[in-house]
Amino acid sequence: MAARLIPAVAPTLSSTPPIMCGIFFSLSTKPTSPTHETSKLLEQRGPDSCRTHTVCREAKTQNGGSQDITYHLTFISTVLSLRGDHVFHQPLVDPTTDSVLCWNGEAWKIAGQPVAGNDTAHVFDLLLQATGRKYDRQSVAHNIAKAVGSISGPFAFVFYHAPTAQLFFSRDCLGRRSLLQGWDENDVLKICSLCDSSSSSECFEEVGFDGIYMIDLAERRSSSLPLQAQLKVETLPWSSGDLPLPGHVQNPIPPMNMSIPEQQPPALALDTPSVVELEARLRQSLTLRIQGVPIPPNYIPDQSAKVAVLFSGGLDCSLLARLSHDLLPLHEPIDLLNVAFENPRVAAARSNQPDAPLSSSLSVYEACPDRMTGRSAHAELQKICPGRAWRFVAIDIPYAETLAHRDLVRRLMRPHNTEMDLSIACALYFASRGQGTIYASSDSNPVSYTTTARVLLSGLGADELFAGYGRHGVAFNRNGFEGLVSEVHLDVSRLGQRNLGRDDRVLSHWGRETRFPFLDEEFVAWVLRAPVWEKCGFGLAGLSNSESADAQAIASLDAEKMALRLVALRLGLQGVAREKKRAIQFGARTAKMEKGRTKGTDTLG
């Protein structure tokens, strides 16, 4: 077990809950609010609380005179409470300065120390202390950048520093929380966890990954121009240096180790120090994310789950499930959410081949690739982790139900709008709903079941960090270690630009928070500092001629994500260690439901 976490500071608050939220902010020359539809979707993200705070701010034009203007700032936060015994409402408003914070995230650590109590309160206090009582605009901006750079964890926020009339907004450097921005047709700036339905999706874009964005509302250039033309958005950029420049935000993700081996590296083994440390560091990342989870609504002790895994039966999610067994009390069930779809195109192909393997013995759902690997991995977990209630939740989605929810899924994933976006989003949407069937006992019929867990675990990030995609092997075969390092570096450099914002909007719809242990900043930093040959098995020297069971097991492993496969073997997951990478849209069969010749990059009509 991990060592006891020591709080960063002596807590001055009771143990109140860190939260995940929906955020809406608008800036305009008249009062503005989200549409009814957007408000309802925000409440789906945060069903425990919804509050609004408004600010009116006078701004002078550069030439003074009678053309001064009033800005209307609207702050709305919905709250999903995830620890403690009561709901901690947002937006937070400082009674001394009138500053306002809308926070959606988990500050696992501040300045390297675990956070005790409510992370939102700690972050708000951090920002207020950083701004101090000297209200010089440049100093405030520089200190905000320094404060945000000390936060470790997924986040998106909007912070208004009232004394200097500066507005700050940002996402974490990996983009694990959704935040969109855009000017609508009425010259209103909106910053929101999802697209506001009063505007076309073209108005919105993901808040970028350049750093923290700042708007100075103290002075208006001219009263004759629209707000969008007048208000300048400045950037406080991320910096990877040990001592970032003033006004830069400390990026916790270091440059990747690009070294090439001078000679053939030795084979990885179960006791290779880097493999042993990898297991320890993944365990440490997971500990932060699953210990101290609160009792969810409708919880029944020893029967209900607090934590569930988005579970395909693949290597990454099965590792998280296996490690969770070591970290959670044995009496707590762990739900394994496995989704399978009725794909009419695949069903039609099966019906035309009545003698094909599995066509007569398995349903359209049980024949899905992820269902078969999920069942296999579930059986292996039951065997090596006796005493734990591993609840395999079979989530079967008929084609008619996919069609019934498709418009909502497209609404949530906006501004993304391709075939691949939709196929991935559908799988995540229904998996996170957590509604399916389970077997109450080995000799019973399946019964309807919906998970109570509000915390979901995802293995996302492992493929990028450990060379898990097929293209990594292609790159090595073409250009050796240089090609492999270049391809992995490309994936790593795009971690902050990938589709985590889209995934967050879809996964959070059911009032659950998804956590990504492989994307913990400290874990990512450690992996990136390691040479590529400590992560995967491409180009490594062969094993000795030992006939031991361990040597034979290792020899049968694929090179992709070799280090993680060895961790799986260390933990007893013999079958899981051999599972190949499979994209979710193909494993759950959400891809190409109607036409087999569509491309993932095709835009939806």
Task: Find the DSSP H helices in 434-540.
Answer: 462-465, 470-493, 500-507, 521-529
C-beta of residue 303 within 8 angstroms of C-beta of residue 333: yes
SS3 content of the chain, % helix, strand, coil (to 5): 35, 20, 45
Q: Number of C-alpha atoms within 13 angstroms, CB side, residue 151?
A: 29
* DSSP codes joined into one string, 225-255: S-HHHHPPEEEEEEE-SSSPPTT-EEPSSPP
Q: What are phi and psi of 167, to 5 degrees?
A: -110, 130
Give the total residue count for the chain: 605
Place of tokens 């400290």: 522
As a whole number of angstroms, the distance between CA 551 and CA 365 comes to 36
As a whole number of angstroms, the distance between CA 145 and CA 391 comes to 44
As a whole number of angstroms, the distance between CA 120 and CA 118 comes to 6
As a whole number of angstroms, the distance between CA 114 and CA 287 comes to 12
Burial (CB count <10 Å: 0-12, 13-18, 19+), residue 243: exposed
The DSSP bridge pattern shows strands 211-216 and 233-239 to be antiparallel
C-beta of residue 349 within 8 angstroms of C-beta of residue 592: no
Contacts of 57 (CB under 8 A, 6+ apart): 70, 71, 73, 165, 217
SS3 397: strand
- Is residue 195 part of the annotated active site? The answer reads no
Q: What are the Cα distances from residue 280, in Å, to 12, 104, 326, 493, 571? A: 32, 29, 12, 25, 12
As a whole number of angstroms, the distance between CA 601 and CA 508 comes to 24
Beta bridge partners of 25: 75, 191
Q: Number of C-alpha atoms within 13 angstroms, CB side, residue 206?
A: 26
Tokens of 335: 């739900």
Q: Which residues are catalytic?
A: 21
